[in-house]
Amino acid sequence: MRCSALIYVTCEKPHDGLARASVDVRRGADVILHFPCPARMLCDAMPSIALQPVGQEAAPILANLFEFYCHDLSAHFALRIGADGRFGYPHLSLYWEQPESRFAFFIMADNELAGFALATRGSSATRDRSDFDVAEFFVLRMHRRLGIGAVAAAQLWDRLPGHWVVRAAIKNEAAVVFWRRAVSNYARDEHIERTLTVNGVTRQVFEFESHTV
């Protein structure tokens, strides 16, 4: 006997990355299937995401966000706060002093600050000084698991076409999972993945070519 069914796919709000398909079978029984949402980027629950270059006048805002980032990373690294109660980051000013090799962006979601992406030309994981490297990357907790990080990363790579290197300490397991997924979606599996240990810290390293859209 042949059966046919009409499947309705819905994406619930707030967006949680799952699509739900309801199959109405005979005698009124309902079978609910769950699978990764294929239309995630088109979902109307998805905020509009944009990278906004950070000008020097916005340095204090970036420094504020950097504190939250350091606090998150202190779960994996032995970061220390100063007597002023701040982690601090002495190299932030380089992003304005070396504009040819350092790039700083706020991640905006529906025109609100959602995080930041910092990139450099030259990576500690490769020898070619023209390679791009994701130096620091952060999405505020309230904006996480909405796809914002993945979209922002893709926008960063599109914006600076070339050979990209992404590194994540393997003890930051969530970051490794996030980057593996973001890179393989972006580079369509045409990427290299390896581990690299420097000064006792083992990192997962991803390399791929970015392209302009």
Ligand X SMILES: CC(C)(COP(=O)(O)OP(=O)(O)OC[C@H]1O[C@@H](n2cnc3c(N)ncnc32)[C@H](O)[C@@H]1OP(=O)(O)O)[C@@H](O)C(=O)NCCC(=O)NCCS
Positions touching ligand X (CB under 6 A) are 17, 69, 72, 137-139, 144-150, 168, 172, 174-175, 177-178, 181
CB of 141 vs ligand X, minimal distance in Å: 8
122 closest CA partner among 157, 183, 164, 159: 164
Helix (H, G, I), strand (E, B) or coil at 39: coil
**Measured from the CB of residue 184, what is the shortest distance to ligand X in angstroms?**
11
User: Number of H helices and number of E strands within the chain?
Assistant: 4, 10
Closest residue by Cα to residue 174 from 72, 70, 63, 62: 72
CB of 129 to ligand X, least distance (A): 21
b/e 160-184 (16+ beta carbons within 10 angstroms → b): eeeebbbbbeeebeebbebbbebbe
Q: Which is nearer to ligand X, 1 or 178 (CB)?
A: 178
User: What is the C-alpha to C-alpha distance for residues 179 and 201, in angstroms, rounded to an integer?
Assistant: 18
Nearer to ligand X, 75 or 160 (CB): 75
| CB 195, min distance to ligand X, A | 14
Query: By C-beta, is 6 or 111 nearer to ligand X?
Result: 111
CB contact set of 133 (below 8 Å; sequence gap of 6+): 119, 120, 121, 122, 123, 124, 125, 164, 165, 166, 167
Minimum Å gap between C-beta 152 and ligand X is: 7
Q: Which two tokens stand for residue 83?
A: 């007597």
Q: Considering beta carbons, is residue 150 or 165 the nearer one to ligand X?
A: 150
Smaller CB separation from ligand X, 69 or 208: 69
